[in-house]
Amino acid sequence: MTTFDLEPTTSSAATARPAEEGLASYVRQLHEEVDALPTYRPVVAAVIPAYNEGDSIVDVLRSLLKQTRLPDEIHVIVNNTKDDTFEKAAKFAGPRTAKRKSKDGSRQQTEVYVHDIGANPDKKVGALNYGFSLIGHADYLLGVDGDTTLAPDAVEKLEAEILSDTRIGGISAIYSIDDTLVKGPIARLLIAGQRAQFAAFNMQNMLRGRNMAVLGGQCSIFSMRALRAVMAENHQQTPWVNDSEVEDSLLSLQIKSAGYLTKISAQARADVGGMTTVRSLDGQQVKWNYGAIDLMWPGQRGDTKGQPLHPNLRLRWAENFGMLTNIFTRIAFVLLLAASLSIGAFVFSPIWLIPPAVAILLNVRIAWSMKGRTWRDVAFAAAGIPAELYMWLRAGHFLRAWAKFLSKVKVDNWAEQAKAERGSGNAFLTPLIILAVTFLVLGYTWFQLPVLIQSSILWLGWPVLYVVTIAQTVVMTGKLFRRQRGYKV
């Protein structure tokens, strides 16, 4: 038998070990070198148009300087101001270093610039465009109103969301109103109503795929690339134009038309300035409603054509139809109830309690979805009567806006709002006066009619009201049981 002498050989595992260790060392070194490379940080520039914001501009700037992600620069654009806005803002001018350290141990830096551009015929639009002209090097424009304070992580959340998808042209924060310092029963009622109104609006947009019809100017981040696309597509020299009473609504439409998405943030929050008098609330809401109507209506006056079928305006049409229905059911119920009682023909039915009960439950659910809800928010919704009073106020704003629009009289609604906030003007009483006169005229006419005609009117009126109210209740019930997907507003 043939035998073979075998030489001892080195184990394959032994030879592989040094190679693996060398590879691991190389990978570690590569990772360390990559981590040491400077990373690109998008430039976020904040623009704050400020008109007579002496009472709030300090809080606004402080909220920006306390951000977990500081804006790289902050521009306060003071315009048409007659108070001490500039003097108060100027105290913040210059380089600023964050008090808290970043995750890597460094401290973020920013610089605050305060510009007083004096008389500005284009008002907020002019101030925003002036700010835009100063930040051509930035990647994102953060628009903040002069009375809006941001949650500490708002800029960080907005930046992360807009960086997550290049299709996004702008993202609006979740708005509410700080009610901690509000004094007086009327002011508290109005602020509670506005908080509920914001909450319902925010939730509605979140449940529509977070698609935002209006990127509110109170606190929104815009892609500079999207703003330039709007300028090119619409042959504009600036992103904002004064063709509309609500410049943010028009810009949102244009961003959407340019192929970008307009979104509401899932987490970033901001507290906006609330209206604490009936007069100032009327001025603000009439301006908002008028501007929305101006964009919706075919053949809008001005340089921008009405776009009634634009995707961002479908929700507006639904809101207007819903408000019209609310006005009809309330006025019809009051008139039919009074008419029925006057001839002893009213018969109470417990079924009439179902619609207001569903409305109260829906309001309570909305209040419960508010992240910073207070006992006043829940009480406002659960009591029923405060929410009903606020709805009547909103109905007055709605009718005033439509009346102004259809009258085709040129009105500066910005000036009207500013006047109302100063406590001047009594236009907010117009809906109440017209309603009172209408009821008196209808009441007198009613008592001149024969009983047969009165009975016929009631015989026809109540069934019509039944049908409309049932449809409203079905819609409210659908909203009541709609899944909210964990969103908090």
**What pLDDT is attached to residue 21?**
66
Inter-residue contact 64 to 92 (CB < 8 Å): no
Q: 3-class DSSP state for residue 41?
A: coil
Q: How far apart are the first and last CA of the chain?
A: 90
Domain range annotation of the chain? 44-274, 319-410+426-481
Give start and end residues of each alpha helix (H) in 175-277. Answer: 185-206, 224-233, 247-257
- Rounded alpha-carbon distances, angstroms, from residue 381 to 283, 371, 480: 24, 15, 13
User: DSSP E strands: which ranges in 330-370?
Assistant: none
How much is the pLDDT for 304? 52
Burial of 312 (0-12, 13-18, 19+ CB in 10 A): buried
Backbone Cα Rg of the chain: 29
- Summarised one tens digit per residue, pLDDT across range 136-167 is 999 999 999 999 999 999 999 999 999 999 99
Query: pLDDT at position 10, please?
Result: 46
- Which residue in 261, 254, 242, 248 sits closest to 302, CA to CA? 242
- The count of C-alpha atoms lying within 13 angstroms of the C-alpha of 200, restricted to the half-sphere facing its C-beta, is 19
Structure tokens of 305?
Answer: 């054509």
The one-character DSSP state at 211 is B
The residue ranges of the chain whose pLDDT is under 50 are 1-11, 13
Nearest to 75 by CA among 115, 120, 44: 115
Residue 29 amino acid letter:
Q
What span, in angstroms and rounded, lies between the C-alpha atoms of 240 and 238? 6
Q: What is the pLDDT of residue 8?
A: 44
**Cα diameter, the chain:** 136
Angle at 375 between CA 272 and CA 268, to 5 degrees: 35
Predicted TM-score (pTM) of this structure? 0.86
Chain centroid offset of residue 290 CA? 16
CATH assignment, 44-274: 3.90.550.10
How much is the pLDDT for 36?
56
Of 408, 443, 396, the residue nearest 283 (C-alpha): 396
Strands 44-50, 73-78: parallel, antiparallel or unpaired by DSSP? parallel
3-class SS of residue 332: helix
* pLDDT for residue 1: 43
The per-residue pLDDT for range 403-414, each reduced to its tens digit, is: 988 887 777 777
User: Can you give the pLDDT at residue 410?
Assistant: 75
- Mean pLDDT of the residues in the chain: 88
